[in-house]
Amino acid sequence: MRQKIILDCDPGHDDAIALLLAARHPALELLAVTTVAGNQSVEKTSTNALKVCSLARVLDVPVARGMQRPLLRPARFASDIHGESGLDGPEMPVPAFPLAAQHAVDLLIELLLQSNGDIVLIPTGPLTNIAAAIRREPAIVPKIQAISLMGGAISVGNVTASAEFNIWADPEAAAIVFACGRPITMVPLEVTHQALATEDIMQRLRAMQRPVPTFVADLLHYFADSYRQVFGFSAPPLHDPCAVAAVIEPGIILTREMHVAIETQGEWTVGRTVCDIYGKTGLPANACVGYALQVERFWDLLLDTLQCYA
């Protein structure tokens, strides 16, 4: 049986590729795409999700617009990485279908309450929608089979010296999710920075000579320029598809159980994922934290899936 999933995202270049992986891999059944403010405004991330689905002919999965700002803080975007549209670079089609009538939080609650506890949530943006759903309807918590999220860092952040963007954008939401008691796989920067789209990967994508892989290569071309200018990376990291790959093949990411606390008040450390590697707090583990990626397996999995698109 295919694993049922909901992808909660803020497209975003790497979110778009995560969506393509989630929609087509045979091990997954994508029930819905929910969008959130993060890489850009929720209006833009929602439009981007519709455009990606339209391009890939993923027309039978509802796309629902979610929270437009964090729980307690003003919205902050990543225009320096993803551009003004949130998905700058290649030309995109006009959406072929509209957004779902329901708000994303309502859709999350409905799908989870109706489930048999067999849905994995894959958040690849700020955790605002997931936290809002938990606060509004606590009965969904035992219905969540697991959460595989891209976010956080064991050591160095990418938006501040301490914090990774997704957690920093809404640390209060992250604190709610990490305290929910459900199994969490945290895919941090230490893992995703190993998923570098090198020139060889770009050539493999273009050699497929198909619209969707070519679109992905065009996305990565823009993404590569952003990461070169902002971080000095030689190749762009594919953060968000790693969280999807962790559901498809759990062993593709090496993890270690530990307690993760979310810093919400520090002067210099707001949004930091405080990973208790050596058990110094005495608190029970609440997440399996990734530390290494099976790089070749990851790229084979992703490229084989993208090649399935007509």
pLDDT 10s digits, 119-134: 999 999 999 999 999 9
Predicted structure pTM score: 0.98
Residue 145 neighbours by CB under 8 Å, 6+ apart: 117, 118, 119, 120, 182, 183
Structure tokens at 29: 């059944």
d(CA 188, CA 170): 16
Mean pLDDT score, 56-75: 97
Q: If pLDDT is split at 50, 70 and 90, which confidence band does 296 have?
A: very high
CATH of the domain at 71: 3.90.245.10
**Residue 239 known to be catalytic:** yes
Residue 29 neighbours by CB distance under 10 Å: 16
Number of domains the chain is built from: 1
d(CA 117, CA 185): 17
Predicted confidence (pLDDT) at residue 113 exceeds the cutoff of 90: yes
Mean pLDDT score, 8-37: 98
User: Which entry of 25, 82, 239, 259 is annotated as an active-site residue?
Assistant: 239
* Domain interval for residue 62: 3-306
User: What does the pLDDT look like over 166-221, one tens digit per residue?
Assistant: 999 999 999 999 999 999 999 999 999 999 999 999 999 999 999 999 999 999 99
Predicted confidence (pLDDT) at residue 246 exceeds the cutoff of 80: yes
- Residue 310's pLDDT is 75
